[in-house]
Structure 1
């Protein structure tokens, strides 16, 4: 679009100038008008704060015209929820404002329907804690008894998004923001790229079923390559991806057209070929082998925190993993619980919409099982599923999360407008594309600051929520602090919706009816649901 603008504007100027000289001086008025617009267009191309204006000179200004016509025009054209899994327009506006350090207050009070089914809120106290006296940068230490290099993490970090799905500039901006704000950046399963390392931000290296960056020529796990990358100083934790919420049980395909020389080198695959990520891991074949593989990764990384990510499917399979942990006395340092509401442009609609437990349900279940089996103290929990606001962090922590990961919110912080073109390579903001004509518009120096601004503002807002609830430590948030309206006349706390478990109660045989079937069908020696043989 920049090239077309230069050519077209130059032609228009040349034609109108020639007409004004050789035909009629009245054409000089049109020449002057066009000249003004051309100057505006060149200003757009060389400014660095607005990606759309850099990529679409002059025409990109229309988006900001709509923004000024709020609330109706901007909400309809820019904040329209058309993807089926929207981030609310209020949350989106907050992300934009927070990233740009603009005024966050909204006139005329709440814009939510507080009497609608599903509305949620947090209890406040008549004796709140003063914000000034609270810890403005709460952190959580990852690392259990087998970990030699614990990591102190922020409560909000960047969720898994690979280089390839995101542009080099987007990855670089996110990692730069992570460095500025002292939080972590998950690489996604596409491997560690130079853009993850350029700014020196902390990394969580995700290893998926394709073992990209640590695989041999046949696609199997290569321990030597893994050890080499796992020992990089920027890599603080390793996450083994079992499944993701957007497409659980489904592998990915990298088309030959996208498999460039650069991406192939990073992923250790042959360039210009179709590369398939299988739906399951080849390095282990049972819950017992999974737990042993986690220990192997920890040893190969010289004792860095290692965990796994999954979206809850068959609950019996997760119970079987926990039984394997207890049997071997080996525990992951963390578990990332993803939700079925996860987003990606690379998932079939049926997988995206109808497969996998939502994050809140999965998180409550995982926390309950770990607590009931007396192993929660070994394992930190990360919530990953449409975390966009400080309330979402508080809600996840009430269900048992120690920290949270965000993906969509981080994209919006660096300029995503949810154009819903992520899977087409035509993202107009240069974030979810490899097209150099589009990625040129994303200025890393500006966007990494916005990323850090959003993170800092959201964490501080979470601390303010804590204080308003009369709490001085995030560990004191309980399920009783969050309410949900289930009908016009009924409101339930999360404790009533997701009843808690007592520590070690399941070891004493106190298994609630809702979990008895899962325990009866859990087999740590194989995947799937075990059969209960009828008694004779």
Structure 2
């Protein structure tokens, strides 16, 4: 094959040379240049380079492999996958976000594409006497225990943690402005409070293990700093503090900011060296056991002026989580909320093993935390925020039914900004300017149009949640419980989530 390809390009080169000799016009000269370049490339592939066996055996032709590999995700998404089999978020789910964010028609024709008799199919049952959805209540939740002074009246849907660095400045600005317009909260992510977060929207200030925006570097080690934290925590638009233990996409690992995305500006905000990969530690330096953790929570609450303080984790060892909640009850001090992330959570960059095989999926983790809080009589004090690939109103209803008080969404809000699921977040090449620091790409995202889409998606999803609740005959969203959501079992029976998870 190698000799055949070499012979073909050589003959083509000779023929183009002959053509130029007899008909010396511009077109033929261009053909000769192309043929000559291909000949030189074939010689290089076949004889000079020694790294790639495929290129030595199949010069030039083998390069097509890299072309198709580079475009594989796009080919898969646009030409192969159907509405339901795309991963991690299928086309049907992506479409509903686009439609709601743009206020386009969002109805579907000709019936469902779901196999309603398949194992795992989920649904809710409606009432013969549906309620007027415009009168349905319960789209806000008051977060703050008896240890909290400045309680926060939050929307049941908020933007989950995404840092400036992971996302572009334009994406952060659009999200925050959209949160202001829609009256919901925006989690800063562990990268700290940047100027782009300060667009008027309510903030959940996340404190990660790297203490970006909440600490300083001492002898090469990131440590919590009372003064640095206080400056950000006391900002009027910071409504809650979230101490991150882990996230679902890489639990027990710590955050990763690729070197390409660590610009001069971001390095100043995070107090790190620019253009270097930034790995957050897997654990907190400020505490090492539950008693110290509770003291740290109270310290953070005091430094912030009594604002709600929560903790975020993906459920790992159940015994460890129960011991933590038991300690909360024993010492009579606790966080104001717990953000439960699922192992299916998204991220811009994660090791494959952690993304695929570490951490409890959201439904199982959420149910366990809810049951454990009830066991130790803390559910009324500690609210639960669930995060894990929620997209549409049914996702929200299901998570609320299983014990969540509010929902954090990340990828769905990225989609509302125009994300096309190119899955290049870790490469700094996001084609729509959402997850990149490339200035040319960032400019493609126009804030004054995208902020409206963020607001629209939130508000229309809230309306859809109310419509589902109303169809079930409920006048308050919180009246929906696990016994109102159903799943088809392996045997084909219909059973409630209450029967599956509460026994």
Q: Please state which band the TM-score falls in when normalised by the shorter chain.
A: 0.7 to 0.9
* Structure 1 gaps, min length 5: 1-22, 24-65, 67-71, 501-536
How many Å separate the matches in 2 of 1:268 and 1:304? 26
Correspondence 1:334-353 to 2 at 5 A:
334-353=337-356
How many Å separate the matches in 2 of 1:243 and 1:73? 30
Residue pair 2:209, 2:283 contacting (<8 A) in 1 also: yes
Which of 424, 435, 443 is the aligned partner of 1:421?
Answer: 424
The equivalent residue for 1:7 is none
Residue pair 2:258, 2:426 contacting (<8 A) in 1 also: no
Does residue 161 (structure 1) correspond to residue 167 (structure 2)? The answer is no
- TM-score w.r.t. the length of structure 2 is 0.82
How many Å separate the matches in 2 of 1:425 and 1:181? 29
Deviation readout 1:265-298 (Å, 9 max, x if unpaired): 2112343444321111111101121111111100
What number of residue pairs does the alignment pair up? 427
The equivalent residue for 1:178 is 179
Deviation at 1:354, TM superposition (A): 0.9
Residue pair 1:131, 1:463 contacting (<8 A) in 2 also: yes
The equivalent residue for 1:200 is 200
* Larger displacement relative to structure 2 (310-319 or 479-488): 479-488
The equivalent residue for 2:253 is 250
Q: How big is the alpha-carbon RMSD for the aligned residues of Structure 1 and Structure 2?
A: 1.9
Residue pair 2:482, 2:497 contacting (<8 A) in 1 also: yes
The equivalent residue for 1:359 is 362
How many Å separate the matches in 2 of 1:275 and 1:487? 45
Q: For residue 216 of structure 2, give the secondary structure of its aligned residue in structure 1.
A: coil
Correspondence 1:47-58 to 2 at 5 A:
none
Does residue 236 (structure 1) correspond to residue 236 (structure 2)? The answer is no
The equivalent residue for 2:140 is 139
Q: For residue 216 of structure 1, give the secondary structure of its aligned residue in structure 2.
A: strand
Deviation at 1:261, TM superposition (A): 2.1
How many Å separate the matches in 1 of 2:412 and 2:260? 29
* Structure 2 gaps, min length 5: 1-24, 26-73
The equivalent residue for 2:66 is none
Deviation at 1:82, TM superposition (A): 5.4
The equivalent residue for 1:4 is none
The equivalent residue for 1:101 is 103
Deviation readout 1:143-187 (Å, 9 max, x if unpaired): 111111111100100010111110001111111110100000001
* Larger displacement relative to structure 2 (469-478 or 383-392): 469-478
Does residue 465 (structure 1) correspond to residue 465 (structure 2)? The answer is no
Deviation at 1:208, TM superposition (A): 0.5
Deviation at 1:433, TM superposition (A): 0.6
Q: For residue 243 of structure 2, give the secondary structure of its aligned residue in structure 1.
A: strand
Label 1:253 to 1:422 Cα distance change in 2 as closer, same or farther (>3 A): closer
Deviation at 1:258, TM superposition (A): 3.3
How many Å separate the matches in 2 of 1:453 and 1:258? 29
Which of 315, 318, 339 is the aligned partner of 1:315?
Answer: 318
Deviation readout 1:196-239 (Å, 9 max, x if unpaired): 00x21000011110001111222111111101110001100000
Deviation at 1:255, TM superposition (A): 4.3
Deviation at 1:318, TM superposition (A): 0.6
Deviation at 1:75, TM superposition (A): 6.8
Q: For residue 176 of structure 1, give the secondary structure of its aligned residue in structure 2.
A: helix
- TM-score w.r.t. the length of structure 1 is 0.77
The equivalent residue for 2:118 is 116
Residue pair 1:416, 1:429 contacting (<8 A) in 2 also: yes
The equivalent residue for 2:53 is none
Which of 376, 389, 394 is the aligned partner of 1:386?
Answer: 389
Deviation at 1:478, TM superposition (A): 1.1
Label 1:120 to 1:77 Cα distance change in 2 as closer, same or farther (>3 A): closer
Does residue 283 (structure 1) correspond to residue 260 (structure 2)? The answer is no
Residue pair 1:244, 1:338 contacting (<8 A) in 2 also: yes
Deviation at 1:88, TM superposition (A): 2.5
Which of 482, 486, 493 is the aligned partner of 1:490?
Answer: 493
* Larger displacement relative to structure 2 (322-331 or 184-193): 322-331
